[in-house]
Structure 1
Amino acid sequence: MNLPEPPSAFRAPTPSERPWSWRHETADGAEVDLSTTEAADLADERFASQSDAESWIGETWQDLLDAGVAQVTLLEVDRVVYGPMSLSA
């Protein structure tokens, strides 16, 4: 039996629905896996707009820095929009 696809509220958004995301990096550009840190709830966030992504980073940068993220790069699907951008003051 094939079940219908669940409503969007019950599945992760697709890149076409939320194309904006941040790549979390160390100072030398290596990607940080947040899923293994105390900031795991900040991993894999996706956003509907660039503005939403930038607002989120403005609210969470200190938590990311505390989790070992030194810089971030903004992506639209797989395209680098800008970055790396340091999280240090």
Structure 2
Amino acid sequence: MSRSRTANNTGSGTESEAIAGIEWAVEQGARVITLGLSSSIPSDGTDPLSQTIDRLSKSKGVLFVVPAGDSGRDRWVRERDRAGVQPPPHLPEG
């Protein structure tokens, strides 16, 4: 097991930094990668980060675990997900 981080001390980072971190982890032999990401921009799966995850899943057999709802309860839910998977409820801080 290994731990790495691509975000800065405030938790912010760029898509290209996340991609570089993912590619680095795969080069180091990672077989399962858990990502905690948040964005205010919806994705249809054609963005570079989604494409990288798809490519590495298929070519290297890496399993990616990406939780839904990292932005909290007030964020949008993609139209196609409304009838299916929903983000988890926001838990109070404690």
Normalised TM-score (structure 2): 0.31
Which structure has more relative contact order (CA 8 Å, sep 6+)? It is 1
Which has a greater percent of strand?
A: 1
